[in-house]
Every structure is written in C-alpha cells, then in structure tokens.
Amino acid sequence: MGVLSSSFGQDKVAGQVFTKAEADQLFGPVLKSVTVSVADLNKILDKCNGYVMLDVDMSNAKPQPIATDENRKPVNGYTKEVKADRVMHKYSKSKVQELLTKSGMSTSSNSPLLKSSATANSTASTTVTLEVRSNVFSVSTAAYTLEMGIICPPFCDN
C-alpha cells in the first residue's frame, strides 16, 4: 500500500507511523527483512533533502539495504545502479525522524549514544529494520513501524 495520488509533490508528507501491533494487523507479517543501524540511517538522512527512498535488494544470498536521495543517487554505499524502473519507497525525511524519535532513538548522526554500542542495552534499540511484507514495504523499530510511503515508480514527482 502507499499513497495513491499522482499529484504528489515535494511539499507533501510521505509516510505514517503506526505502532508495531497496528502495522502487523494492517499490513500482515514481515516476509523478508534487513537491519540498518540507527547511526547509518542518520548518515543516510544527512545526505538527503526532504525525502529518502528505500528498498531491499534480494538478488544476493544476503539481502542488502538500498537507500537513495530523491534523485535515486545511492546514499548508503550501495554500489549497483538504481535504475529508473526499480520500485523504491519514498518517505519524508521528517517521518523517518519521527519514527526514530517515537522509538527513543537519536535523530543525529553525531549522537554519543550512537558512537558507543557498548552502552546500548540491545541491538533492537540501535537498529531499524527494512521490511518486505506481502503488499507493502515498511521501516520498523521494536515498537513502531513507518508505512504509507510513496511507491516510485509510478508516483515519482520531484
């Protein structure tokens, strides 16, 4: 599911934060996933303007996260070309930050909390999960899930 509006413009908000239980009920179980550290996600967000586009590359034995800016320029070290026909999931940067804030995670790549994993209580508190579900793509923490991103293509207005 995603926002189904061809009039999506750069001033629109893409994404909605749900509790994990709501997301599981609304969108079904997670079929495949890959984790990304909160520190890496913040570095990705630092390289994007208003939006970030996410997906998971399942073509290898080990799934790889794909993160690009609004222009499909990889911002997480993904080395393959992200072609225009590859479906990505576009979220407002502010909504990703909201997910992190609601989850009690830092939204700064310079946070001392993120620099020392030794002080973290668990992996779950320092990672987010990019999830492939039956009909949707979501980004989750232990307690919250971001969904309702813009599916691009076909809705890629820049």
Q: Would you say the C-alpha torsion 41, 44, 49, 51 has a positive or negative sign?
A: negative
**What CATH number belongs to 16-115+125-152?**
3.10.150
Q: What is the pLDDT of residue 156?
A: 82
Q: What is the mean pLDDT of each run of 10 residues along the chain (158 residues)?
A: 41 91 95 94 94 92 91 89 92 96 78 36 74 94 96 84
What pLDDT score was predicted for residue 112? 38
Give the DSSP letter string of 106-152. Answer: ---TT-HHHH-GGG-S-GGGGEEEEEEESS-EEEE-SSEEEE-PEEE
User: What is the reported pLDDT for 107?
Assistant: 73
91 within 8 A of 149, measured Cβ to Cβ: yes
- Rounded-to-integer distance, Cα 21 and Cα 75, Å: 30
| 3-class state of residue 38 by DSSP | helix
Contact yes or no for 66/82 (Cβ under 8 A): yes
Q: Torsion over CA of 137, 93, 96 and 26, rounded to 10 degrees? A: -40
Domain boundaries, the chain: 16-115+125-152
Cβ pair 91, 14 in contact under 8 A: yes
